[in-house]
Every structure is written in C-alpha cells, then in structure tokens.
Amino acid sequence: MSAPSLEIAQLTVRFGGLAAVDDVSFAVAPGRVHGLIGPNGAGKTTLFNLVCGLVAPTSGAIRLDGQRIDALPSWGRSKLGLARTFQNIRMFNDMSVLETVMTGMHAGLAESLPAVLLRLPSFRRAERAALEKAWELIDFVGLADAAQRRSGDLPYGDQRRLEIARALACEPRLLLLDEPAAGMNPSETHALEELLERLKGRGVTMLLVEHDMHFVMRLCDEITVLNFGRKIAQGAPVDVRADPAVVEAYLGAKVARSLEAPR
Amino acid sequence: MAEFLDDFLFTYQNLVYSLGVNGLLALSIYVVLAVGQLSIGQAAFMGLGAYVSALLTVKLGVAFPLVLLAAMITPALAALVVGAPTLRLSGVYLALATIGLGEVQRIVFINAEFTGGALGLSGIPTRGGLISIYGSLALALVAFVCVARSKIGRAMEAMREDELAAGALGVDLPAYKLGALVVSAMLAGLAGALNAHVSSFISPNDYGFDAAVTILSFALLGGIGSPFGPVLGAFILTLLPEVLRPLADYKTVVNGAIIVVAVIFMPRGLLAWRMGRAGAAFRRPK
C-alpha cells in the first residue's frame, strides 16, 4: 500500500492553556475525499491552518505523501503539492479571472528572471502553456465566459469556483477546502457539489471542512469528527451519523434522522 | 530649432536632470510598494549612492561606470542588512527600520570627516548627464514592464492584494520582499550617483526624512497600477513648483492643495490604469 496523501500523527497545538487540537491522528488515502466536521470551536480551522502552515504545531507530525511538512512555511508546502481555498474567499480583486488562475501556477512555472527580462523563447513557451492551462481550468469550473472579467466583480458563487480553479492550477496532490459551501444559496451549493464530484472523478484528493451535513455526507468517503480539539469519531458517513457520540456532540437527534432519509 | 533646444537645455538643465532622477526614485519606491511593503528609506539609499559615488570620483578618480556600479551595490547591501530581519515579519516594521536607517546615516554623514561633515561634498566633477539619466530611466521602465507581465508580476500583485493567499499559492514571501527592497535600493543608489555627478554638490540634509516622503508621494500621486504611474507622479511633482513660480509666496500652498485634491478624488493615483499580468496574449488558443 502506498503512503497516504496526508497523514496527521498525534498532532497537538496549544494556545496558552487551551489545547485547540489535542492528539489528533488520521490519514487521507490518495484519491479520497475526507470530511472534517464538528461544532464551532472544535478545532477544525486550527487543524486546517496547521496543515497548510499558518499555525505551528506544539507536537506531532504532518506528512504529505510520506514527507514531513510541519516545519515548512506555507509556500514551501504549496511547492510540494498542497493547495487550499479559504473560508472567507480571498480574491486578487483587480486581476482578471485568467490572471488569477495563472497566479495559482506560480510554484510550477519555470520562468527565470533573465528569461523574463529578455523575453526568451523559454519564457514565451511557459507563458503560452500557462495560459492554455488556465483556459482549460476555467472551462472545467464553468467560468470561461467570465475569462476577462475582474475577479472582484464576480458573484460570490463564481468567486468560490475561481478560488478552486486557482488552487487546482498548481496540480495539487491534496486540496484543502475550508467551508466551500458557506454562504451559498441552495442552487450554488448544488452546483458546487457537482463540481467537486467531477474533481473527485479526476482523482483529486480532498480534505474539507463543512457545516452543510447533507453536502458532506454525500460527497465524502470518510469523515473525522472533532469536539473540543479531540477526535471523537471517524469512519464512513453512514457509520459516523449513527455514532451516538457524534449525535450528542454535534448533529443532534433531529439532523441525524433527516440524514437517514434520502433526499 | 537646434539653437532653441540648446537654449532651452541651458536654461532648464537642472530641471531636466531632476525630472529623470526623480523618475528613477519613483520607480525605486514603486518596487517596494508593488509587493505591499512600505519603505521610508529611499532617500537614505539615494544618499548612500550619492556619497559613495562622489567619494570614489573625487578621492580615487575611479571610472564612471564602476562608480555607478558601486553606487548600486552599496545601498543593496544596506537593504539586505535592514531588510533581512524585518521582512520576515508582515506589517510596518520595514517602514520603521528604514526611517532608522535614514536618520543614522544622516548623522554619520554630518559627523564624519571624510564625508565633509554638515557642509557636504562640493566640486564633484560632472559625469554622465542626459543620456545616462534618461537611458537608465528607460531601461528600468522596460525591465519593470517585462517583470510585471510574467509570473513575477503576478506574484507581486498577489502579495499586495492578499499576502496570506499569495503564500498559500507558493509565493516565497520573504524572498520576494527582500528582492524588491534590494532592487529598489539599487535604483535609488543609481539615482543618487547620477544626481551627484550633475549637481556637483551634495549635503547630508538632502537625503533626510523630507526627501523620503517626497519620493513616496511620487508613487502615491501617480498610482502603482503600472510602473508608469509613479514616473508620471514624479514628473508632475517636480514640474509643479516651477510652473507655479509666478505665484511666489502662495506657491507651496497651491502645490499642496493640488496634491490633496488629487489624493482625495483619485485615491488610486492619476494613472489608475492597471497593466495586464500575462506574458502572452489573452486570446483563447485554438
């Protein structure tokens, strides 16, 4: 068996006396979609920030494809194939949609300063290839008609799609999605789910935090539940939603029943 | 016609030189602002370039191209020393550190013997001139346009818009910030050297806090959507006092009012146009 895409091992981070993430371990196998759920304050976002390098762990290890990444800055992790979207969308407002996606290719684009200054053939080739790939990606997320528009002017749902295209631009081995459906109306959520299903079909490994339980249960192969920084359950969606500890801490009996019923 | 041009140059020589030098200084602050940082040290870098170049020419008689090279390398080293520790942090630390650099340097220049103390250095022989000043400005502009339309330009704009997101996309933030500061110091040093060799006289107070703020205002007035904005800002702020000369005592009042009005009504600068960021045409490939 190959190494997991992401491996979290006995990860702990303390802010003063508070253990925001407390001895959490789990792994995401290649090509799988892994969900992270739990009540507000459970440590989901902290765990996300640990994985992408915005918070340093107190102890424990994070491995990407078997390689320790917990001492690397966020840009170093990105070079190894980690990409993310943000809970509150972070756009480069003045850039066009195409430029935004091309910015996402930063780590993988071979353009040396001399080649840039002298407009060498190698630079031109790299830029053309990048542009071609950017067109493919915005086609994939359904933004081709908005290619030349200012990113900041797109509607919310489209900005989320653009953020995903930007994250995909570096051909990540693992894509982190921080509450992708937050703030979306039902039709936007539905379209997003359809997009993520297609991503899954392409074999993209994903770890996502989300509060929309129907969304999570349908999309994820496996779910980890956090409460007060500790892992309280892990397993397939069917098992997790039936777990009494999860119902008690997070779902509540009513939601758990509604999840049983197919929608 | 040629005669007219000669007359014009003779009368306005200093102004024509100042325009080019200030254009270079505007580009030097532009690089720093373009990565979302703030430096109040451009005048210090300029002063360092000016003093190093003047001393090399006056005391050692070094050839002018080598003098220019030294005037770029010395401030670049100073930028490394100031930038390396402060640019790992985000926020205003660079601005604070560069104010410090400027003041320390000014006091050293005032008190040191070999820099001529408070009187400064005079009798610097004339070197370079129109061609070297405007040649440098043109080269720098072309280089910045090339860089803006590449992955480097995209990374710089991304940093300015959202540092966190840029870092998550693989932009090595400390390296870019330090690189920008070093390039900026080199340009300011070059401007200082070119200026010293056409004005024949330099003194420590030419490179103080006031000068740093003036350089910053070039970019703020012009806008930083493209490298042309700051240069335009520099040209206007350099010309304005000359154009307003007939107003005599009210000159500075009107000068200030024009800047205030421009900043209020054009917060993105006079030239709000933003340059495209792709090095290839945006047309959809067939």
- Write out pLDDT tens, residues A32-68: 999 999 988 888 999 999 999 999 999 999 999 999 9
CB count in 10 Å sphere of residue B157: 26
**How near does any CA of chain B get to the CA of A195, in Å?**
21
B96-119 confidence digits (pLDDT tens): 999 999 999 999 999 988 888 888
Tell the residue number behind the tokens 């091992």, with chain if given: A9
Neighbouring-strand partners of residue A21? A13
In whole angstroms, what is the distance from residue B42 CA to residue B25 CA?
A: 7
A143-177 confidence digits (pLDDT tens): 999 999 999 999 999 999 999 999 999 899 999 99
Which of chain A's residues have a Cβ under 8 Å away from the Cβ of B226? none
Task: Give which of A244, A207, A197, A193 is closest to A30, Cα–Cα.
Answer: A207
In whole angstroms, what is the distance from residue A263 CA to residue A15 CA?
A: 41
- Nearest-CA residue of chain A relative to B139? A117
B199-231 confidence digits (pLDDT tens): 989 999 899 888 998 999 999 899 998 999 999
Burial (CB < 10 A; 0-12, 13-18, 19+), residue B118, is: exposed
Tell the residue number behind the tokens 């401007």, with chain if given: B191
B113-147 confidence digits (pLDDT tens): 888 888 889 889 988 888 999 999 999 999 999 99
Interface ipTM = 0.91
Cβ atoms of A133 and A105 closer than 8 Å: yes
Q: Select the residue of B147, B225, B278 nearest A102 (Cβ to Cβ).
A: B278
Helix (H/G/I), strand (E/B), else coil: A77: helix
Q: Which two tokens stand for residue A67?
A: 């390689």
B31: left (phi over 0), alpha (psi -120 to 50) or beta: alpha
Helix (H/G/I), strand (E/B), else coil: A42: coil
Q: Are strands A33-37 and A18-28 parallel, antiparallel or unpaired?
A: unpaired
Q: Does B40 touch chain A (CB under 8 A)?
A: no
Which of chain A's residues have a Cβ under 8 Å away from the Cβ of B154? 95, 99, 102-103, 106
Domains and CATH numbers, chain A: 6-81+172-260 (3.40.50.300), 93-157 (no CATH)
pLDDT at A1: 52
**How near does any CA of chain B get to the CA of A125, in Å?**
9
Give Cα separations from A203 to A29, A30, A31, A198, A200 (angstroms).
Answer: 11, 8, 5, 9, 5
Helix (H/G/I), strand (E/B), else coil: A126: helix
Q: Select the residue of A90, A93, A99 nearest B154 (Cβ to Cβ).
A: A99
More confident residue, A33 or A250: A33
Q: Select the residue of B147, B172, B284 nearest A116 (Cβ to Cβ).
A: B147
Cβ atoms of B178 and B80 closer than 8 Å: yes
Q: Which two tokens stand for residue B161?
A: 């818009």
Residue A16, amino acid: G
pLDDT at B9: 76
